[in-house]
Every structure is written in C-alpha cells, then in structure tokens.
Amino acid sequence: MKTCSEECRPICDFCRFFNYNGYGEAHGFENAIYVGNGYCVFYEHPVDPEDGYECQDFICTNYKVEHKPREIK
C-alpha cells in the first residue's frame, strides 16, 4: 500500500485503480456527487468511497515514485 502522506487514508476515492463515475462539476454542481457507479479496475468489481472499504492494495493518485540512479558494478 502506497500513500502520499501520513494523512492519506487507504480508501478507493484517491486510488489509482479507482474509476470514479460520478456526477458533479460537469453538470453544474460545485462538488462531486457519488452515484454508485465507481469501479475498481484492479479487482474488477464495483466499489465507492461511501462503502467504507479500505484496501491493502491502495496506491494514492498523488503518490510519486522517486527515481534514483542505480549503481552499475
């Protein structure tokens, strides 16, 4: 499980594998509204943050991998 900070909770809302299929800004609302159409592409099943599901395979969308040069021996 990879999070971007200590405050980041392992829920699907910010997971790289979570497809958010909601209703919100594109329809003139100030905030997003969950409509129950979220989907996890890793486990291939429907899921939404409102389900309260915390996943051990969560990878935060804000998590960045630092590339370090490898030593060549």
Dihedral, CA of residue 27, residue 38, residue 10 and residue 54, to nearest 10: 140
Q: Is 69 helix (H, G, I), strand (E, B) or coil?
A: coil
pLDDT digits over 38-69, tens only?
899 999 999 988 888 889 999 998 888 776 66
DSSP state of 36: S
Percentage of residues in the chain with pLDDT exceeding 90? 25
The amino acid occupying position 53 is: Y
Tell me the C-alpha distance between 30 and 24, whole Å: 7
Residue spans per domain, the chain: 18-51
pTM score: 0.69
